[in-house]
């Protein structure tokens, strides 16, 4: 009944989709439903088979082999696309200079023994390290050991090579291009596609955290053994200032200023004045200065020559008035 | 100090390279596990799914309490397992009063959750309950044919998403060459209503027809179940874009020692090491040896007669 051309066939996945079948809203019974589903299924499978068997096939030992087309339904990948390998420092240099890789022979003629030996590895040709006698040059100091020098030279070369290799790998890791079998051990993540390395904590952050950890003991970290070179904790604490016991008879000046301060803050909290006189005065003074500066700039004379007119600091009227009131 | 860790043996190195991201990917592996509580039905379902996908599936037998796929924090365990087993589809079964016989089928991208579909299983019939001719039983690992029927798969968004997930789950490996003798299973998925899908696994019987295309006959073989779509989560757009990216076709790899000639066609080069004729083993020694033996025997017999005569003389 349905038009065959309306079925979607995806041969690469061996799938066929019939979007037009409409099931009756009240299925008659379970078995009938199953039968109908299987019938429809058989139709679709027949269509797939028709398409399959009409593909060009090659005979093989087991049976007719058919080359399937790539699947048409797009399904998501499981891992991201691989990034192209970043060139190492040498590769970049070679590309810039135009240096091409030469093909070399596997065997090289060894001059000393006259046989063909391998180019590198065990028992190699023209090996510099196998020379039993090294002639001393005129420029050599007495007591100079050329064999030891050879060993240390080789060690230096190997170290340099390792350092360069590490640099290349670190560069690749920064870009995210580390080869799949290599893992840089400081970052102990499992080897996987694109998980970025966690950022290293800064010295400041570490110090802060260490400080918090240290003071998290019952005695606030005061009696813990400190490591060599560990600075004492720098926690900003509020210190209570205790006035000196003996200062003179009666209320000394320090005590007076302390009590004055306390009284002022208490009374100002309870006052209902809308205008904060202190603040108004300082704001007015600041504005005046600014205006003066602007005038000074507009005129050619430098402000330094002008006599400085410092605004007179008016004593806290508010406080004095309150004192009178309190009295 | 940064240290470079590389695998100590080549076997591990090869495994790591298998799991590395590639242009053409390996087939997706399936992870089957269950939560705190499962019902008998659900256990059977998970077991059968594992059998259907044997070879490309991993089944965990312990219960996992802290996996809740649809919640924010409950996915970390799943992602960890996916990373360890290198599986990018998972089937998680759980049973509760609110959601009985619950299956969550999900996919991962780069070992992070990509999308999820939650279905309930009803009217489950296991493989043993079907009686059929044993010759029709599909072999493990054969590529299945998949048939989707119903307008629901086109119109209802949840079913559309479910169709994609089912295709990914059931299709198996993507192959280029297929042996037509090995076609023996079909998955039939019908959208019965706007949230119910009937899934059935059938074996194929090929019957002779007039043309070279055989007539197909479906025989119900394996599990059949009704799947009721409950919840689903679509992938967010940026992730979907990243996952659907495909590289353009790579130029085919150069085959070594094969060349094309305009006149003669395809030419191949074969390299043979030098033959040392003296050291070559002769295959059929027996005849030559026999002849030599005969000659040697003759010679000996002459000498032997002579020596015997001498002895008799001496004694």
pLDDT tens, residue by residue, B28-66:
999 999 988 899 999 999 999 999 999 899 999 999 989
Is the CB of A54 less than 8 angstroms away from the CB of B213? Answer: yes
Residues 188-247 of B with CB under 8 A from A: 188, 190-193, 198, 200, 202, 204, 212-218, 220, 224, 235, 240, 242-247
Q: Give DSSP secondary structure letters for B196-211.
A: EEEEEEEEEEEE--SS
| Tokens (6 digits) for A103 | 């093909």
Residues 132-171 of B with CB under 8 A from A: 143-151, 153-154, 163-164, 167-168, 171
> Taking the model in full, what pTM does it have?
0.65
CB pairs under 8 A between A and B: 222
Q: What is the pLDDT of residue A1?
A: 42
Least CB–CB distance from B180: residue in A57, A166, A193: A57
pLDDT higher than threshold 70 for residue A322: no
ipTM of the prediction:
0.74
Spacing of C-alpha A63 from chain mean position:
55
Convert B299-309 to b/e letters by CB count within 10 Å (16 or more is b): eeeeeeeeeee
Nearest residue of chain B to residue A30 (CA atoms): B123
pLDDT higher than threshold 90 for residue A163: yes
Q: What is the pLDDT of residue A323?
A: 46
Of B293 and B1, the one with more pLDDT? B293
- How far is it, in rounded angstroms, from Cα A3 to Cα A20? 9
| Tokens (6 digits) for A20 | 């037009």
pLDDT tens by residue, B252-273: 677 888 888 888 888 899 999 8
Q: How far is CA A152 from CA A60, A129, A145, in A?
A: 63, 12, 11
- How far is it, in rounded angstroms, from Cα B277 to Cα B181? 48
Give the residue among A29, A165, A220, A78 at the shortest CA–CA distance from B108. A78
pLDDT higher than threshold 60 for residue B312: no
Among residues of chain A, what percentage have pLDDT more than 90?
16
Mean per-residue pLDDT for B74-97? 92
pLDDT tens by residue, A196-249: 556 677 788 887 888 788 888 888 777 888 777 776 666 566 777 777 776 666
The angle that helices A89-97 and A146-175 make with each other, rounded to 10 degrees, is 90
- Split at pLDDT 50, 70, 90, the class of A21 is confident
Contacts of A22 in chain B (CB under 8 A): 151
- How far is it, in rounded angstroms, from Cα A172 to Cα A184? 11
Q: What is the pLDDT of residue B232?
A: 92
Of B294 and A159, the one with more pLDDT? A159
B154 and B160 Cβ atoms separated by less than 8 Å = yes
Helix, strand, coil percentages in chain A from 3-state DSSP, rounded to 5? 40, 5, 50
- How far is it, in rounded angstroms, from Cα A285 to Cα A312? 9
B252 and B220 Cβ atoms separated by less than 8 Å = no
pLDDT tens by residue, A92-126: 999 999 999 999 988 999 988 899 999 998 988 98
pLDDT tens by residue, A266-314: 887 777 666 777 888 999 999 999 998 888 766 545 545 555 555 555 5
Non-local (6+) Cβ contacts of A168 within 8 A are: A88, A89
In 10 A of CB B109, how many CB atoms? 21
| Tokens (6 digits) for A91 | 């590769």
B225 and B45 Cβ atoms separated by less than 8 Å = yes
Q: What is the pLDDT of residue A161?
A: 95
Question: A185 and chain B: CB distance < 8 Å anywhere?
Answer: yes
Q: What is the pLDDT of residue B79?
A: 92
Of A249 and A88, the one with more pLDDT? A88
- The DSSP symbol for B75 reads G
Residues 269-298 of B with CB under 8 A from A: none
pLDDT higher than threshold 50 for residue B275: yes
3-state secondary structure (DSSP) of residue B91? strand
Mean per-residue pLDDT for B151-178? 90
- How far is it, in rounded angstroms, from Cα B200 to Cα B193? 16
- How far is it, in rounded angstroms, from Cα A293 to Cα A302? 10
Mean per-residue pLDDT for B57-81? 91
Mean per-residue pLDDT for B230-244? 91
Is the CB of B149 less than 8 angstroms away from the CB of A37? Answer: yes
A117 and A107 Cβ atoms separated by less than 8 Å = yes
Q: What is the pLDDT of residue A319?
A: 44
- How far is it, in rounded angstroms, from Cα B152 to Cα A32? 19
Question: A181 and chain B: CB distance < 8 Å anywhere?
Answer: yes
Non-local (6+) Cβ contacts of B218 within 8 A are: A38, A41, A42, A45, B186, B188, B202, B203, B204, B205
Least CB–CB distance from B145: residue in A45, A77, A78: A45
């Amino acid at each position: 009944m349905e038009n065959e051309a309306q079925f979607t066939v995806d041969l690469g996945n061996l799938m066929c989709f019939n979007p037009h079948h409409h099931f009756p809203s009240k299925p008659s019974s379970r078995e009938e439903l199953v039968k109908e589903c299987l019938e429809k299924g058989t139709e679709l499978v027949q269509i797939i088979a028709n398409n399959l068997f009409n593909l060009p096939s090659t005979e093989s030992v087991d049976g007719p082999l058919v080359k399937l087309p790539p699947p048409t339904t797009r399904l998501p990948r499981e891992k991201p696309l691989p990034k192209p390998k970043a060139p190492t420092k040498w590769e970049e240099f070679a590309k810039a200079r135009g240096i091409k890789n030469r093909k070399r022979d596997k065997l090289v003629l060894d001059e000393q023994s006259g046989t063909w030996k391998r180019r590198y590895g065990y028992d190699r040709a023209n090996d510099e390290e196998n020379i039993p006698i090294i002639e001393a040059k005129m420029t050599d100091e007495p007591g100079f050991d050329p064999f030891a020098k050879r060993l240390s030279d080789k060690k230096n070369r190997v170290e340099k090579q390792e350092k360069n290799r590490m640099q290349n790998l670190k560069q690749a890791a920064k870009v995210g291009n580390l080869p799949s079998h290599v893992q840089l051990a400081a970052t102990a993540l499992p080897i996987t596609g694109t998980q970025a390395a966690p950022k290293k904590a800064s010295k400041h952050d570490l110090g802060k955290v260490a400080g918090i950890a240290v003071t998290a003991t019952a005695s606030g970290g005061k009696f813990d053994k400190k490591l060599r070179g560990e600075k004492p904790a720098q926690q900003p604490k509020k210190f209570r200032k205790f006035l000196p016991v003996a200062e003179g008879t009666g209320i000394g000046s320090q005590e007076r200023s302390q009590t004055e301060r306390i009284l002022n803050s208490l009374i100002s909290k309870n006052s209902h004045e809308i205008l904060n006189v202190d603040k108004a005065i300082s704001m007015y003074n600041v504005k005046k200065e600014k205006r003066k500066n602007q005038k000074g700039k507009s005129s050619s004379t430098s402000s330094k020559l002008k006599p400085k007119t410092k605004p007179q600091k008016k004593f806290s009227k508010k406080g004095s008035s309150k004192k009178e009131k309190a009295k | 100090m940064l240290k470079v860790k590389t695998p100590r043996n080549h076997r591990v190195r090869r495994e790591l390279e298998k799991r590395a991201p590639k242009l053409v990917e390996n087939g997706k592996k399936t992870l089957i596990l269950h939560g705190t509580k499962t019902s008998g039905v659900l256990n059977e379902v998970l077991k059968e799914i594992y059998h259907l996908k044997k070879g490309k599936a991993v089944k965990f037998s312990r219960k996992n309490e802290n996996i809740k796929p649809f919640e924010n924090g409950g996915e970390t365990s799943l992602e960890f397992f996916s990373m360890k087993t290198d599986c990018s589809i998972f089937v998680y079964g759980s049973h509760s009063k609110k959601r009985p016989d619950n299956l969550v089928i999900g996919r991962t991208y780069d070992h992070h959750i990509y999308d999820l579909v939650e279905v309930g299983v009803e009217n489950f019939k296991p493989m043993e309950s079907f009686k059929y001719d044993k010759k029709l039983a599909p072999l493990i690992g054969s590529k299945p044919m998949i048939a989707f029927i119903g307008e629901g798969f086109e119109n209802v968004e949840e079913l559309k998403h479910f169709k994609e997930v089912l295709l990914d789950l059931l299709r198996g490996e993507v192959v280029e060459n297929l042996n037509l003798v090995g076609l023996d299973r079909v998955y039939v998925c019908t959208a019965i209503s706007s949230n119910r899908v009937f899934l059935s696994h059938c074996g194929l019987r090929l019957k002779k027809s007039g043309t070279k295309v055989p007539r197909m006959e479906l025989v119900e073989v394996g599990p059949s179940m009704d799947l009721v779509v409950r919840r689903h989560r679509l992938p967010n757009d940026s992730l979907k874009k990243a996952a659907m990216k495909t590289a353009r076709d790579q130029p085919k790899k150069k085959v070594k020692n094969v060349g094309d000639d305009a006149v003669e066609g395809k030419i191949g080069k074969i390299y043979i090491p030098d033959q040392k004729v003296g050291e070559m083993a002769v295959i059929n020694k027996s005849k030559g040896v026999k002849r030599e033996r005969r000659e040697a025997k003759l010679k000996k017999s002459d000498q032997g007669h002579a020596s015997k005569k001498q002895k008799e003389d001496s004694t």
